[in-house]
Amino acid sequence: MRIAVLGTGSVGRTLASAFARLGHEVTVGTRDVAGTLARTGPDGMGNEPYSAWAQANPEVRLAAFADVAADADLVVNATSGDASLAALRAVGEDGLAGRVVLDVANPLDFSRGFPPTLSVQGTDSLAEQLQRAFPQARVVKALNTMTASVMADPRGLADGQHTVFVCGDDAAAKKTVTGLLAQLGHRDVLDLGDLSTARGAEMLLPLWLRLYAALGTSEFNFKIVR
């Protein structure tokens, strides 16, 4: 598949290299290609400059949001939750129309420090906001409930015996995403239902953040026993 990954942070990079390893044609999207490549210091999360990562991942291309989805079969939204609408606007309606959009973002509000709160919850979700803004996109929420390394390499944790949730209105789009999750090594894909169920997946984040603090590591996941 041709996969456009919106986002140059930990998630964008980790998923991009995992998809490339699986043989997919991957392009990462950013606001300003030259600006992103010119960064020399670590980003806010301590990640090495994008150019250093790109050198180690030469098969992954970099493009501006406006160009990244032109021939993509699937678009991954791995941008900051408070900027996801802006990022998708930069991709543009034409770039998203008819495309599966795998939304891994969380609507985290860091304005009052850590742990962040949710900027949307209860009766709405970020995934639904994106779907309303781009009605022709086929938004599927998944992978937002685990850290990037577990998203991309689930077998590295408890031999992959843990759960990933999938939410969306378009059955074929969910099937495409489920196939991609299986390629990554996810064994327990739990379809929660239509896109409104993304509220539940996003509202797991306050719990995820407390587990992160209590366990002292981000290398864990939810396992739904039934």
- Binding site residues, ligand NAP, CB under 6 A: 7-12, 30-31, 36, 45, 78-81, 83, 86-87, 104-106, 108, 144, 147-148
**Among residues 32 and 94, whose Cβ is nearest to ligand NAP?**
32
**Among residues 65 and 171, whose Cβ is nearest to ligand NAP?**
65
- For residue 77, what are its two tokens? 């939204």
The CA angle 66-50-54, to the nearest 5 degrees, is 90
What is the closest distance, in whole angstroms, from the C-beta atom of residue 140 to ligand NAP in the complex? Answer: 14
What is the closest distance, in whole angstroms, from the C-beta atom of residue 94 to ligand NAP in the complex? Answer: 18
What is the closest distance, in whole angstroms, from the C-beta atom of residue 72 to ligand NAP in the complex? Answer: 16
**Among residues 188 and 202, whose Cβ is nearest to ligand NAP?**
202
What is the closest distance, in whole angstroms, from the C-beta atom of residue 219 to ligand NAP in the complex? Answer: 10
- Going from the C-alpha of 52 to that of each of 13, 34, 60, 182, the distances in angstroms are 12, 14, 13, 29
